[in-house]
A and B are shown apart, each in its own frame.
Chain A
C-alpha cells in the first residue's frame, strides 16, 4: 500500500493562512483526521476533499475578522471600492487623465497602425491551403540576383525531382479585354494546368484547368478573378461557358476564382489562362527566362530536403547544358519569404521605430504616475497609518494605471483607425497584401495586450516606491523634508531612458531623410519635366503579322506627334524606372567567348529615332539612331557608357559589331555612345543599355511605351492622345498613363514611406521627451521650494539657482544622449535596407540630432529653472 499523503498545496495554503495561534492545532487535527480516514478510494477522496475545503475556507477567511464575510463579497467590495475610487480620482483630475492617456495613445496608435500594415505581409495567414508548403523556385545568376527560368528548365525539374506534389509554371500576360465598352488592358497570368493545385485553390464557379487545356493546340479558355467577374460581368453566375474577347480572340470562361483568392505572386492579376507550352516551342528554351516556377512540397518532405533535391537536379542540368546555364544556380524560397523579399527589413525597422515610440510614451506615462504618487503622498501616508497594507495601496494605483492605459489604448485604436487609410495611401505598391490591411480583431487584441502591459508597468513601477515604513516615517516628519527619495532616482532614470530612445528615433529619421534626399538628387540620365508616358499594346490575329504591328506603331507615332502642344513623342519597347525588364546577352564579334552564356547583359531599348530627343539623353560619341536606319538598311545600335567601360577597356567602340540574345541573330554595328540612364531604380547599379531602331528589331514588340514631351499639362493632353490612338485602332488600350516625375516618385515610395513614418515618430518622440524632461524638472522645483528658499536666503543669486537646475537638466539630457548615441551605433544595422548613399552610422547626422535634442532639452529645462529662481525665500520658508 502506498503511503497516503495529504494534498501538498492545500497544506501549504493552510500553513500560510491559518492564524498562527490556531495553526499547529488545526493543521494537526486535519492530518490526524486524514490518516484516520477510510483507506477505500471513496474514503480517500472524501478525506482529500475535506482537506481542501479547510484550506480554501482558511484562505478566504480574513484575519481578525469575526464576522466571517464570504470571500467573494469581501474581495469584490474591496475591488469595487478601489475601482470606483480610482474612477472618481481620474474624473476629478481630467488634465492628468487626458494627458497620460493621450500620451499612451500615441504609442499604442503607432504600434497598432504599423502592426496592421505589416501584419498581412509578415505574419497574417496566407489564403492558401497549407501555404507553408508552397515554394518559389528561381534561377540564381552570377551577380547573386534571382530570376525567372526557361520553361524547359521547369519541365526538367519536374521530371528530375521527387520532392514536389506539383510544380507549375506561370508567365505574365497582358490581355486586352474588348467587346462591350472601351478596350481595357488587364493583368493576367498564363499558368500550367497544375497551378491551382500548387496554390491549393478551388474555383468558386465552374472548373479549374485540365491537362488537356494546357497544350498549344487546345481551345482557348480562361478563368476570371472574383473582382473582374464582379466589375465587368456584374457577378453573373451564368458566366461559365460564355465566351469573352481578349485581344480579338474568343476565350471560353471555364471558371471563377473565389473571392478569398489573392494573387500574391502577381498582384493585380485578374485573369488566368493555360500556359499552353511544350518543350519543343521556341519560347520554351532554357535561356528564355520568362517563366516563373512555383511548387507544392509533398507533405512528408521537409523544405530543406526539397531545396537540396532541386539543387542537385539543377546541377545535373547545368553539367549537361553549360552554354545555357553558365555558373547559374537555383534558389528555393517559401511563398512568404518570396513575397516579403525587399520589404521585410524595412517593415521590421518600422515596427522597431513604433516600438521605440511606444516605450517613450510608456516612460512618459510612468513619470506622470510617479509624480501623481508623490502628490498623493499625504493620502497614502494616512491610509497606511490607518492600516492599509502596501498591497492595498499598490492595488489602488494599479487599478488607476490600468484604467488610464485602457483609455489610452482606446484612443490609440481610434488613432490607428483614422491613420490607416492615409498609411495605405502612402505605402509603396510593392508592400505585399496591402489590400488586406485593416484594423481588425488582431489589432484590437494587440491594443488590449498593450493596455494591460502599459498599465502594469506605469502602475507598478511607481507602486514599487511605496514603502509603508517610509510613509509612516513621513507622517512623523514634515512631508516637505523628503526631497530626494527613490522616486527621484526613478524619474531621472526614466527621463534618461526617454532621451536615449528619442535620440535613436531622431537619428534614424535624420539618416532616412538624407537617404531620400540623396536618392532624389540622383541623376536619372534622362529628362522628366513635362513628359508623360502611356503603355500601349496590340493583340489579336490581325497583329500576327509583324508588318501590321510596325504599321500600327508608325501610325500611332505620327498621330501623337501631330497633336497640338506635343513637342516630341516617341515609342520605346521599355522605359527606365517603369519596372520594365528586358535584358539580353550581348556577344561581341571581336572578343568571342567559348561560352556565350558568360557574355555581359544589356537592356534592350527598341526605340523610334527621336527617342534620344524626347528623353533628353546625352550623346557622348558618334550619332544616335536616325530615320535612315530603317528595316532594310544596315542593322545599327547605340550603346551606353557602361558597356564601353565594361567591354571595350579604352578601345573605340564605334564600328564594333555584336549580336543580341542568341547567336542566330544579325550582326549590329555600333554607331554611337550615350550616357547611362538609371533603369531599375534610382538606387540601382548602372547597367548596360543598347538602343536599336524599333523597325530593325528581330520581331515586332506587341507592347510599347509612348513617351510624350508636351507643353500642356498631362490631364489635358491625355484625351487627345486617346483620340489619336483610337483613330489608328480603337482596340489599342491606353494603360499606365503617368507623368515621368510621378513614375520616379513611385519608384521611391518605399523609402519615402519609411522616412515619413520615422520622421513623424521622431517628432512625436521629441515632443514627448521634451514634456518628460520638463515634467521632471518642474516636479523637482516644486518639491524643493524650501531648499531653494534656504539657498536664496543664504545668498544664492538667481543666476546660481537657474544654473543649478540647468545643470540638473543638462546632466539628464547628456546621459540620455550618450546612451542614445551608443545605441544608434549598435542598432544602425536595422536601417541598412532603407539607407542610400549615406552610412547608417553617419557621425554628422548623429551629432546633428544630438545637438538638436540637447537644445530641446535645454529649452524644456529653462522654464522650471526660471521658475525656481523666482521663488521668494520668505514665502518658501513660511510655506511649511
Chain B
C-alpha cells in the first residue's frame, strides 16, 4: 500500500524518535526537522491510518499528572513499515536520479 506525504513524514519522525514516539513528539519532530506545521489532529489521523495499514503499532502508557491524568499512546514502526518507507524512498531515489542538480538548485 502506498504512503501519503504526511504518512511518510510521520513514519520518518517515528523512526528518528525511537522509543520516544507519541503524537506531540512526532508533531514537534516534523516541525523542527521538516519545517512543516501540521496539527496534532492530522498527526493522529495519520497515525491511526498507519496502524490500520499495519505499519506501526501502539501501546498505551500509564496516566500522567501533567496530562491531567490522561494516558500517553506510544507508537513504534513495525518491520512492514520500514519496508514500505524503504520502498517509497527507493522509488523517490530512482525517479529523482539525474535531477538532483535541478532539485537542489
Contacts and interface: CB of A to CB of B under 8 A. Distances in A.
A binds B: yes
B16 interface: no
Contacts of B79: none
Of all A-B residue pairs in the complex, the 8 with the closest CB atoms, nearest first, are A28-B70, A28-B67, A29-B24, A25-B73, A29-B23, A57-B39, A22-B44, A24-B70
Q: How would you classify the secondary structure of chain A's contact residues: helix, strand, loop or mixed?
A: helix
Given A26-B41, A28-B67, A57-B41, 20 more contacts: A18-B41, A22-B44, A24-B70, A25-B44, A25-B70, A25-B71, A25-B72, A27-B70, A29-B23, A29-B24, A29-B67, A30-B24, A32-B67, A32-B72, A33-B24, A36-B66, A54-B39, A54-B40, A66-B45, A68-B42
11 contacts: A22-B45, A24-B73, A26-B44, A29-B22, A29-B23, A29-B40, A31-B66, A32-B24, A35-B66, A53-B39, A57-B39
Contacts of A68: 42, 45
Interface string A534-578: 000000000000000000000000000000000000000000000
Interface residues of B, number: 20
Contacts of B64: 28, 32
Contact of A32 (B44, B45, B66, B73): B66
Contact of B48 (A21, A57, A58): A21
A61 interface: yes
Contacts of A18: 41
Interface string B71-102: 11100000000000000000000000000000
A68 B46 CA distance: 12
Contacts of A24: 70-71, 73
B59 to A, nearest CB: 11
A66 B42 CA distance: 10
Contacts of B44: 22, 25-26
Interface string A757-772: 0000000000000000
Contacts of B45: 22, 66, 68
A66 B7 CA distance: 13
Interface of A: 18, 21-22, 24-33, 35-36, 53-54, 57-58, 61, 66, 68
Interface in B27-41: 27, 39-41
Contacts of A26: 23, 40-41, 44
Name the residue among B42, B49, B67 with the largest chain A CB count within 10 angstroms: B67
Name the residue among B40, B45, B71 with the largest chain A CB count within 10 angstroms: B40
Interface of B: 22-24, 27, 39-42, 44-45, 48-49, 64, 66-68, 70-73
A30 B42 contact: no
Nearest to A65: B45
Contacts of B70: 24-25, 27-28, 31
A22 B27 CA distance: 15
A22 B42 CA distance: 11
A66 to B, nearest CB: 7
Contacts of B48: 21-22
A16 to B, nearest CB: 13
A25 B68 contact: no
A26 B42 CA distance: 10
A448 to B, nearest CB: 39
Nearest to A56: B39
Contact of A28 (B27, B41, B49, B68): B68
Nearest to A35: B66
A226 B47 CA distance: 80
A32 B73 CA distance: 13
Nearest to B58: A25
A28 B71 contact: yes
Contacts of B67: 28-29, 31-32
Contacts of A32: 24, 64, 66-67, 72
A35 B66 CA distance: 7
B95 to A, nearest CB: 26
A33 B68 CA distance: 12
A71 to B, nearest CB: 12
Name the residue among A26, A30, A36 with the largest chain B CB count within 10 angstroms: A26
Name the residue among B23, B41, B48, B73 with the largest chain A CB count within 10 angstroms: B41
A873 B49 CA distance: 60
A37 to B, nearest CB: 11
B97 to A, nearest CB: 33
Contacts of B49: 66
A28 B68 CA distance: 7
A35 to B, nearest CB: 5
A589 B71 CA distance: 109
A702 to B, nearest CB: 91
Nearest to A61: B41
Nearest to A22: B44
A21 B48 CA distance: 9
Contacts of A36: 66
A215 B54 CA distance: 106
Nearest to B75: A25
A27 B68 CA distance: 9
A21 B68 CA distance: 17
A27 B67 CA distance: 8
A24 B49 CA distance: 17
A510 to B, nearest CB: 67
A25 B75 CA distance: 12
A720 to B, nearest CB: 95
A33 B39 CA distance: 13
Name the residue among A29, A35, A68 with the largest chain B CB count within 10 angstroms: A29
Contacts of A53: 39
A25 B41 contact: no
A635 to B, nearest CB: 105
Nearest to A27: B70
B71 A30 contact: no
Name the residue among A28, A30, A33 with the largest chain B CB count within 10 angstroms: A28
B71 A54 contact: no
A25 B41 CA distance: 10
A21 B72 CA distance: 13
Given A18-B41, A26-B41, A57-B41, A31 B68 contact: yes
B41 to A, nearest CB: 5
Nearest to A17: B41
